[in-house]
Amino acid sequence: MVAAQEHPSRPLAVAAAALPLITLVACFVIGGLFFELDADMLVLALLVAASVAGIQAVRRGANWMDIQRSTGEKLAAVLPVILILLTIGMLIGTWVVSGTIPALISAGIQLLSPRFFVLSAFLVTAVMSLCTGTSWGSAGTLGVALMGAAAAVHAPIAATAGAVISGAYLGDKMSPLSDSTNICAIGAGADLYAHIRNMLYTAVPSSLVALLVYSTLGRRAAEATGVVPESAQTLLTEMDRVFSLGLWTLLPLVVVLAGIALKVSPALALAASSLVAMVLGGALQGFGVQSVLTSAVRGFDSAMVADLGLDAASLSEPFVQLLDRGGLYSMASTLVLILAAFLLAAGMDVSGALDRLLEALLGTVRSTFGLIAATMAAGTTMISLTSHGGVTALIVGGMFQKAYRQRDLAPVNLSRSLEDSVTIVEPLLPWTVSGIFMSTTLGVPTLELLPWAVFCYGGPVFSLLWAAGFDRTGVGLERLEP
């Protein structure tokens, strides 16, 4: 009704502009109290908040076509990254069937040095997360094995747990296979590989500090056995039984690296690598054509070992948990979340709520440090309330993109700020989903392992240090290209 509409030119009050986000947080809280906070609940919460934003937009003179147009523009802007997400799903499934991921995991496990247990825990989980793109998978499989071994050889338990989490999130953050890495790039409108390169500014010094801390801890005494933990050895044996782990299994990885070096479109490079992996899976690993094709679409399934004359029931749970993954369909829930988040962002954009919130958030910002600090504060606050990094990265990234452009800062600075305030901070918050998962899985309370999760709090520290000196030195951040 026209009489009920607000005047389009009248600025929204800050409380009214924040109403969709307040609704989103309320849905998360209510959903967490009465229901399981799963992906379905997250999508519903986003759609409810998007409805509130849409009503606000209509009241201010917009219509559904305006919201659709804004949503379409946002989707079009990130289409290349969405294609990368889909090809990554295909890549993971085919890399398992080709033996590429099993070969990389086996190499990572064998790096374990009992004489430097805590340091080895950090390095091995980092390698596994980098190769698989999942921090939870690394902590829930190899991390559990490492915790059992730590107890057996009297290594410091809390320090080992902190090292496992640090390594898991280092690899996850730097892996192009990670959904959180891709979503942070999407949220900031940044190129995926440029985003990963820019994260070296904070990942490298944080890793060096972690290496220094862990190298002084967990030194094995005379009781060091010099062998890989039994549970990890079991995983190695199973991989050798199922896959042929020759050097040729690294060919799909070589294809990706060559594509990056030649500056081929990432989606095309990943797709080419997947095709090579499918050929290897069928011709050299011995999987049937249907299994190879299914691995690309639905992901690897341990039942496929029947093609090799093996019984899937004989495989251990860690083996199944680590390798049953990937496929195009594995990215479907992520794409739905992206669409729902963009509907919310479009409604707030059309109504003017985004601009109003940015005006309030940035009203006191007078420097690059202030902008980075405001971004990280918004990211940490929202992840602590929602426990979902993807939603947080998409919403906070959408809110701050314009501010970074106005300061002539490249989108990779925003995506890095999102990683350093969302991805690696969440496991340090005891009430978040990641915090609960890591604490429960590793058997160590969050507050006990927190001092030893060096990489996770090193990222925010170095991110702010680079920002603090950038206006004087011009180092640590990247300018927007003409």
Q: What is the pLDDT of residues 228-242, one digit of tens each?
A: 566 677 878 888 899
Q: What is the pLDDT of residue 460?
A: 92
Q: 10 Å Cβ neighbour count for 110? A: 13
Report the range of poorest mean pLDDT among 69-78, 98-107, 214-223: 214-223
Identify which of 475, 392, 386, 473 has the alpha carbon closest to the alpha carbon of residue 432: 386
Q: What is the pLDDT of residue 229?
A: 61
DSSP string, 114-161: TTBHHHHHHHHHHHHHHHH--HHHHIIIIIHHHHHHHHHTT--HHHHH
pLDDT at 348 over 90: no
Q: What is the pLDDT of residue 223?
A: 43
Report the range of poorest mean pLDDT among 131-145, 286-300, 328-342, 345-359: 131-145
Residue that the structure tokens 């219509």 belong to:
63
Per-residue pLDDT, averaged over 340-351, amounts to 85
Return the higher-pLDDT residue of 400 and 147: 400
What are the backbone dihedrals phi and psi of residue 365, each rounded to the nearest 5 degrees, phi first? -75, 125
Question: In percent, how much of the chain has pLDDT > 70?
Answer: 88
Q: What is the pLDDT of residue 155?
A: 75
Query: Which residues lie closer than 8 Å to 371 by C-beta, 6 or more apart?
Result: 362, 365, 400, 403, 404, 407, 409, 467
Q: Are 92 and 325 in contact (CB under 8 A)?
A: yes
| Radius of gyration (C-alpha) of the chain in whole angstroms | 23
Report the range of poorest mean pLDDT among 187-201, 304-318, 383-397, 466-480: 383-397
Return the higher-pLDDT residue of 403 and 461: 461
Element housing 233 (H / E):
helix 230-242
Q: What is the pLDDT of residue 209?
A: 95
Q: What is the pLDDT of residue 8?
A: 55
pLDDT at 55 over 70: yes
Task: State which of 39-43, 257-261, 264-268, 399-403 shows the largest mean pLDDT.
Answer: 399-403
Per-residue pLDDT, averaged over 305-328, amounts to 87
Q: What is the pLDDT of residue 224?
A: 45
Q: Are 49 and 23 in contact (CB under 8 A)?
A: yes
* pLDDT per position as a tens digit, 86-116: 887 898 889 999 998 888 777 766 766 666 8
Return the higher-pLDDT residue of 346 and 78: 346
Q: What is the pLDDT of residue 108?
A: 65
Q: What is the pLDDT of residue 111?
A: 62
Give residue 216's pLDDT band: very low, low, confident or very high (50, 70, 90). confident
Give residue 307's pLDDT band: very low, low, confident or very high (50, 70, 90). very high
Q: What is the pLDDT of residue 236?
A: 82
pLDDT at 192 over 60: yes
Per-residue pLDDT, averaged over 39-49, amounts to 82
Report the range of poorest mean pLDDT among 7-16, 77-86, 295-304, 311-320: 7-16
b/e for 417-448, b at 16 or more Cβ within 10 A?
Answer: bbbbbbbbbbbbbeebbbbebbbebbebebee
Report the range of poorest mean pLDDT among 103-117, 261-275, 464-478: 103-117
Mean of pLDDT over the chain: 83
